[in-house]
Structure 1
Amino acid sequence: MGSLLDFFRLEASDHLLLFWVKEILVAVVIFTFFWGLSQVVRYLLTTWVPRLTAFTRTGLDDQILRRITPPTSTLVVFAGLYFAVRSLPLPEKAYLVLSGAVYIIIVIVVTVIIGRGISEILNWYGRKLAERHGVGVDRQIIPPLEKIITIFLVGIALMVILKHFNYDILSVVTALGIGSLAIGLAAKDTLANMISGFTLMVDRPFRIGDRIQLTSGQWGDVADIGLRTTKIKTVDNTLLVIPNSELCNTILINLAFPDVRAKGRVDVGVGYDCNVEEVKRILVDTALGVPEVLHDPAPEAFFVSFGESALNMSLFFWVDDYKSIFPITDRINEQIINRFRANRINIPYPIRTVFLEKGN
């Protein structure tokens, strides 16, 4: 009787061993198939797909392929591992732990693939911005965008993982929404400045190095455009720090747009006994005598108005760089007064005539 029980026990253990060997072999076959599939995917992405993308005008698709090929083949391998684990008749806890761990790795790999693709697109867009608006623009816009997108992708990945393990995502999203609302109310001014800073970077009303003038009369060269504030270096070598929200909601003059040429103006009054045409000719000739003054557009002189004691004249001229407008204006003023003295053209002082009448 004992030998018969031993025989059945041995027979049962043999059947159990055979069962596990069969299941393990099936899992190994599944994993091997996906491993081979990963090699095929890698070969296609490195050999055949680049031949198709070679016909496109940009190299963006080639750069994206180079970045996503390694994690894509890794994704196929872990997908095979996931299905192999699911095929094994494991205890429930062991199955949940193993399959859950592999699932988390798969979600991470998928997030990395999406992140690398978006990163290449942003870098390509940053280079286009640098070509269009000058070097430095890409370093201002792209890093904040990458951080925001990374946070967004990580949040989605966490929600997908929590959903897989049957956690209540709605409560988590609600808690995050309430927390975000509280933070937004507490830091609304900072958030407004950050959003305005992002708007300034995208809309590009001015660039670093441009000279701008505010409605308050303050003006200077843009030294830095940050997420919260914009720094302007004034002509007296002081730094003006302005919140971005104020710059977005005000009218300003960009002296460097559409190009760096600038128009100067000199106002002068001459006596009523002067020849207006001669004065206009002298003003234009004086401006043309300064080498930095552009001949195209040519300087122009106008008789503007009748003053109380003088004829008001205006000279308009162009220079090739707005930063040189003041020294050139100084040279023109100096030569104008010398030419007026040489041609006996007087610049009258304000004169008032007072008539006194004798009373009876």
Structure 2
Amino acid sequence: MQSGTTTGTAGAPPTGTPGGPVQTPPGDAQEALGAFLPEWLFVPGWQYVVAAVVLVVGYALSQYASRVLGRRVARRFRRQSVAQTVLRLIRFSVMAVAVAVAVSVLGFEFGDIVLSVTVFSAVLGVVLAPLVGSIISGLFILADEPYEIGDMIELEDGRKGFVDEITIRYTKVYTLDNTSLVVPNANMRDRFVTNYSAEDERIRLTLKILVTYESDVSRARTLLENAASDVGEVIEGGPDIRVGSARYPAQPTAYIDEFADNGVLIALRYWAKKPYKLLTVRSRIQTKLWERFDADPDVEMAYPHQHVVFDDTSGTLRAEMAPNGEAETPIDSGADAAGNGDEGVSSPPQTNSGDADGRPGGPSDGV
């Protein structure tokens, strides 16, 4: 009888052979699942099912975390764009953990992922360079606060709109024509952006009117100021408005801007309460101004005109009437007609025969 003990399971088939227990593939996540899950769950392709379930659960958790932490984040951060960015980062972090677990279930190790990223880093760096630039610019925009969600801005090309969304990659703007405009943050940071409603929504505008020199300029300035004050969207008075270290009158004020060629140019400076309907405000002021100018005989709007004067230094012009009553082409008696004799245009007849050498009559002819 042989002494000693025999370790192992006698007569057990090798692992992975038919009739024996199903072997779980290698991997930390798979070994952890195999420790507490029954073996009958490990059917062929179970890794993909588990990875899909993990991703679905991760997405649900990311949305739940965003709803639960939404109010706290909104109270913590004053700016709405920053609060939305923080919530996006929370959702992204939860999904990143879920993706990492799903990848581990599929058998990928962290070292394999790092190696793959290292191999394709050069190619991805060239392809993703604009995206990385927009992300960095988005971080600067969130930190510098040039505009906020709800602000009315004007882009460098003249388009105006309201900021609807700010992310670390792009800024979404709804234009005044009700079109959606998505601009990468790299473009928003490198170009001029005018913010009409950043700190103070009041905005000062200018309206220029040209009146004739015969008009009562003082009366015209008064009519301009009264027309602007009668519009509800215009600030009609009050304390001076401070802009930087300067202060400007709050009520509409008309100034003589220039003594132009066709009249006196008067500039009306006025403050609009809101920057959202500037064309409407301007149109209402001009409508009231037109009614006042039309009813006042002492003020007249100027328009471009020319006054042509003929005197003894202007030359002479000869015109004849044809038998059918139509005017013939006038013939200039000046130097042009005499110098273009080779074009078949004859000079007008002279009062005498000219000098003895046959030249046309000159100063000695008495002309």
Is 1:145 paired with 2:89? yes
Deviations 1:128-159 (A, max 9, x none): 33xx335xx255311333356568889999xx
Which of 127, 133, 136 pairs up with 2:79? 133
Is 1:315 paired with 2:268? yes
- Given residue 205 of structure 2, which amino acid in structure 1 is its aligned partner? G
Deviations 1:222-266 (A, max 9, x none): 233344332222222222332221111101100112222222221
Q: Normalising by structure 1, report the TM-score.
A: 0.56
Cα shift at 1:171: 8.7
Return the alpha-carbon distance in structure 1 between the equivalents of residues 314 and 207 of structure 2.
44
Q: Cα RMSD between the aligned structures?
A: 4.1
For residues 239 and 154 of structure 1, do their structure 2 counterparts lie closer, same or farther at Cα, with a shift above 3 Å needed? closer
Cα shift at 1:301: 1.1
Where do residues 77-156 of structure 1 align in structure 2 (5 Å cutoff)? 124=72, 126-129=74-77, 132-134=78-80, 137-146=81-90
Instruction: Identify the residue that residue 10 of structure 2 maps to in structure 1.
Output: none
Which of 347, 350, 353 pairs up with 2:301? 347
Instruction: Identify the residue that residue 69 of structure 1 maps to in structure 2.
Output: none
Deviations 1:258-308 (A, max 9, x none): 222222221111111223222222211221122332123211111111211
- Given residue 355 of structure 1, which amino acid in structure 2 is its aligned partner? V
User: Contact 1:262–1:325 at 8 Å: present in 2 too?
Assistant: no
- Given residue 128 of structure 1, which amino acid in structure 2 is its aligned partner? R
Which of 243, 258, 277 pairs up with 1:324? 277
Equivalenced residues, count: 246
Q: Normalising by structure 2, report the TM-score.
A: 0.55
Unaligned runs of 5+ in 2: 5-27, 33-65, 239-249, 316-366
Which of 269, 272, 284 pairs up with 2:210? 269
For residues 178 and 355 of structure 1, do their structure 2 counterparts lie closer, same or farther at Cα, with a shift above 3 Å needed? farther
- Given residue 281 of structure 2, which amino acid in structure 1 is its aligned partner? I
User: Contact 1:271–1:347 at 8 Å: present in 2 too?
Assistant: yes
Which of 250, 256, 261 pairs up with 1:303? 256
Moved more, 192-201 or 310-319: 192-201
For residues 133 and 265 of structure 1, do their structure 2 counterparts lie closer, same or farther at Cα, with a shift above 3 Å needed? farther
Instruction: Identify the residue that residue 33 of structure 1 maps to in structure 2.
Output: none
SS of 1:339's partner is helix
Cα shift at 1:347: 0.6
User: Contact 2:208–2:267 at 8 Å: present in 1 too?
Assistant: yes
Higher helix content, 1 or 2: 1
SS of 1:260's partner is coil
Instruction: Identify the residue that residue 226 of structure 2 maps to in structure 1.
Output: 285
Give the number of the structure whose alpha-carbon radius of gyration is greater: 2
User: Contact 1:219–1:234 at 8 Å: present in 2 too?
Assistant: yes
Is 1:229 paired with 2:177? no
Where do residues 199-218 of structure 1 align in structure 2 (5 Å cutoff)? 199-218=140-159
- Given residue 301 of structure 2, which amino acid in structure 1 is its aligned partner? I
Cα shift at 1:201: 3.2
Share of identical aligned residues, percent? Answer: 25
User: Contact 2:82–2:142 at 8 Å: present in 1 too?
Assistant: no
SS of 1:322's partner is coil
For residues 169 and 292 of structure 1, do their structure 2 counterparts lie closer, same or farther at Cα, with a shift above 3 Å needed? closer
SS of 1:328's partner is helix
User: Contact 2:85–2:167 at 8 Å: present in 1 too?
Assistant: no
Instruction: Identify the residue that residue 107 of structure 1 maps to in structure 2.
Output: none
Cα shift at 1:126: 4.3
Return the alpha-carbon distance in structure 2 between the equivalents of residues 286 and 122 of structure 1.
49
SS of 1:323's partner is coil
User: Contact 1:141–1:202 at 8 Å: present in 2 too?
Assistant: no
